[in-house]
Amino acid sequence: MAKEQITTDSGPTSLYKDKLLGLQVMHVPTGKVVEFRAFLTAFTDTYNSNWNAVDVYGRMDPIATFQGTTRQINVVWNVPAYSSTESEINLSRASLFLSMLYPAYSPSGNSGGGAGQISAAPLLKVKFANLICDSSAQGKGVDNGLLGFIQGGVVFQPNFDEGFYDPAGRPEELYPMSFSLGFNLTVLHTHELGWKARQQKSELRSPGFPYKTQPYSPSNNLINSPAETENSNDATNLNGDGTAGKGSANKKLGDADSGLEKDGEESSINEEGLTGKPTDNIVKQQKDSVMKSGQEAAKAAAKNPKATAAKSTGPPPLPKNWQELPYNDKNRVAYRKWYKARKGK
């Protein structure tokens, strides 16, 4: 249905005219549009994340099931008039806006009149700059506004301090020189919300949501830098051969062995060559054991250099690039066997 606009304004400001920063409201059933200058005095955009939490006997924390996220926008604005003519136009604006709170009716089918049947609910589209807009839409105007319905009351409040325009020769008419309006809009999004879940990289289903902004760059993080974030993600995404997923260098055997070189390393090999999680005590014991055996060997070599040289027939050395070998079970078991042979087990 064609839109009918009431936008006449005597002396519009540059923000309203040039930057299109007016508050626009469209009545979806009829297509009528009304615009107000953007003299906003209050604006809140509230997102409510709703969960169904169930308390279970013996469990300290509830079992929570996600239900959905709702959005409500509260707007309050002033409508001043700079002339008697504009005061009349502003009251016409307010009248049209208040009429948009009512539904559309189909004819009752009899000449006696009557309410008829509701053919369309009073859904609205609201647009204000990039703060109230459909982030996925292109172009300008109220067509890119947010769809929703007004929940609760709408207050029309004239400012008595500013006075009224009392036209001569037109009794029983008053036009406020300034008044305020406000509403609470429950948003019904018409575009996709949430994230595209991917193993390596996730992205918004509607980029720029909700205010048509450029995607946030992790380089702006001061604490979690992009490199740290990528490394922490890759460490938990291992391929079938045990190597880390792409996005950073694969995990190597040399920096993820049994914890002999690093304190608190999570991945290690137990006595059978299987993956395990050593505690700090086990790691400390392994390091102390290596240091002790090294000290004893040094003392023996100092006492009897010839005997030590005759006995130094240990296992063959590891490849020079052993620290660059992929971090998988095969290489880890081989390293463990070499380590046992080195200790004489």
pLDDT number for residue 201: 76
The first and second tokens of residue 317, run together, are: 């050395």
Q: What is the largest CA-CA distance in the chain?
A: 127
For the segment 192-232, what is each residue's pLDDT rounded down to a tens digit?
899 888 766 778 888 889 998 888 888 888 887 666 555 44
pLDDT value, residue 80 = 92
The answer to whether the CB of 53 falls within 8 A of the CB of 63 is yes
Q: Judge residue 125's burial from the number of C-beta atoms within 10 Å of its C-beta, 0-12 exposed, 13-18 middle, 19 or more buried.
A: buried
Task: Kindly give the pairing relationship between strand 146-150 and strand 124-127.
Answer: antiparallel
> How many CA atoms are closer than 13 Å to the CA of 249, on its beta-carbon side?
7
Residue ranges, the chain, pLDDT below 50: 1-12, 231-251, 256-279, 283
CB burial string 292-316: b at 16+ within 10 A, e below: eeeeeeeeeeeeeeeeeeeeeeeee
For CA atoms 308, 314, 319, 321, give the dihedral sign.
negative
At 137, list the tokens.
């839409």
